[in-house]
Amino acid sequence: MLFNSLEFAIFLPTVFLLYWFVFNKSIRLQNAFIVVASYFFYACWDWRFLFLIALTSVSSWYSGYLIKYFSNSSHKKSNNKKEKSVLICNIVLNISILVFFKYYNFFTESFASFFTLFGKELNISTLNIILPVGISFYTFQAIGYSIDVYKGKITATDDIIAFLAFVSFFPQLVAGPIERATNLLPQFYRQRTFNYNESVDGLRQILWGLFKKIVVADNCAITVNQVFSSYQEQTGFMLASAAIFFAFQIYCDFSGYSDIAIGTAKLFNFKLMRNFNLPYFSRDVAEFWRRWHISLTTWFRDYIYIPLGGSRVNRYKTVANTFIVFIVSGFWHGANWTFILWGVYHALLFLPLILLNKNRKHLNNVAENRLLPSTKELIQMIFTFILVTIGWIIFRAENMPQAITYISNIFNASLFTVPSYGKMQYLINISAIAFLIIIEWLQRNKQHSLEIKGTGLFKHRAPRFALYYFLVVCIFYFIGEEKVFIYFQF
C-alpha cells in the first residue's frame, strides 16, 4: 500500500476514525488496534513476510526482558555475561535474517566471481529471494532497542503489545524514520488525546510530502530513467542534467515519504523524529550528513562509530572508523558494489574535515537571520551539491563500469550542447525544483516547509491557502500511475 495510492487514501481516514472513536477506551486497546492496522498495512505488500516482523519483534522484546531479568538478579558478575550473550544472540538472529534476504545472492555471486579471476568456474546457484519491503528499517529499530536496554538507556518493557506497535507502527514501518526506543516507545505508554492543531499541521506536512513525491520526484524520474538507460548515447549536457535531476528525485522521494510518515503520525498524537533537514543547503559534506537521512546517520554514529572509538582515538583508528561506518552505510543501501563505492567516496570526502577538526564547523542554518546567503555560503553550497551529485551518479548506476563511464562522458564539448528533444519535460523538472528550493529556503528555520508556527512566509491566511490550493492542483494534475518510493528497495 503506497502513501500515494487510492488504497491509502481510504485506509488512513478509516484507521483514524476507528482509532479515535471506537478504540479510544484505553491505551492498550489503541495499541492493539495499531498493531492490527500496521500488520494489515504491511500485508497489503506481502502477507507472507508478516512472520518476519513478528519474529524480529518477539525476539527483541524477549531479549530485553531477559536482559532486565539478569540485571536485577543478585549475581551481578556472572549475569553480565548472560546479558551480553542475550544481546549478541538477538543481534545475530536479526542480522542473519537481514543478510539472507538482502545479501545472499550478492555474496554467492561475488564469491563465484572471485574464483574466476584465477581461471576457476564455480557452479554455484543463487536463489529467487524476494526482498521483504522495509526489512532494513524495522530490523535496525528493533536491534537499537536491545542495545539501549543493555546499555541502560531505557528500561525493558513488559508490555508486548506496546512493543509490537513500536516496531510495526505503519507510518514509518516501510521506510523510516528509524525510530529510537527512547523516543517512540514511551509514547505508547501515555494517554493520547486528539490534538486539532497538531493534526492540521500533520496534514500540511502530508501535503508537502505528496508534492515532493508526485510533482518533483516522479517528474524528475522520467528524465533520469531515460538518460541512465541510454547513457552511452547521451550528450554531456543531458548526463549532467539527469544527475542533478536524480539528486532532487531521491531527495524529494525519500524526504517526501518521511514528511508523509511524520505528518500521519501526528494525526494519531505521535511525534516521530525529523529525518531530513534541508540537506542541499549544506556548506560541506559533514553538514550534509547531519541533515540527510538523520535517523540512519545517527544510528550508525551511536551504535557503530562511537563504540569503535569514534574520533577520540588515534588518527589511524579514526580513519578506519570513518571508512567502516561509510562502507556499512553504503552496504546497508543494497547488495551492489556501487553502493560500497558510494560509501567509500563519501568517506574520502568526509575524512579531511574530521582530521582537521572542521566536521562540526556548520551547526547553524545557513544565512541565519538573513534573507540571502553570502557569496561564500553560496559557493560552499554549490560546491557541496556538486560533490554529492557525483556520488549520486555512483549510487544510481547499475554497476561500476556504468558509473565510471557516465561521469567521464559528462566532461566533453557536448556538456554545453542543449538537445532539441524533451524540452517540455525538462522545463517541468526545472520549474518544480525551483519552486521547491524557493519554498524550502524561505521556510528553512521551520520543522517542515508548510509549518506556520511563529513568524514566517505563511503567517497570513491568504498566501497560505493560495499555496495549499496550488499544491493540490499540481498533485492532481501530475498524479497518474502509482510509483513506488525509491527507499522501499532498501
Catalytically active residues are 333
Distance CA 11, CA 2 (A): 11
The residue count of the chain comes to 490
Residue 429 grid coordinates: 523538472
Residue 354 grid coordinates: 574530521
Q: Which burial class, exposed, middle or buried, applies to 251 when counting CB atoms under 10 A from its CB (0-12, 13-18, 19+)?
A: buried
Kindly report the number of other CB atoms within 10 A of residue 44's CB atom: 13
Residue 489 grid coordinates: 528497495
- Centroid of chain to Cα 463: 31
DSSP 406: H
Angle of helix 6-21 relative to helix 27-46, nearest 10 degrees, comes to 160
Distance CA 202, CA 51 (A): 31
What is the SS3 assignment for 298-359?
HHHHHHHHCCCCCCCCCHHHHHHHHHHHHHHHHHHHCCCHHHHHHHHHHHHHHHHHHHCCCC
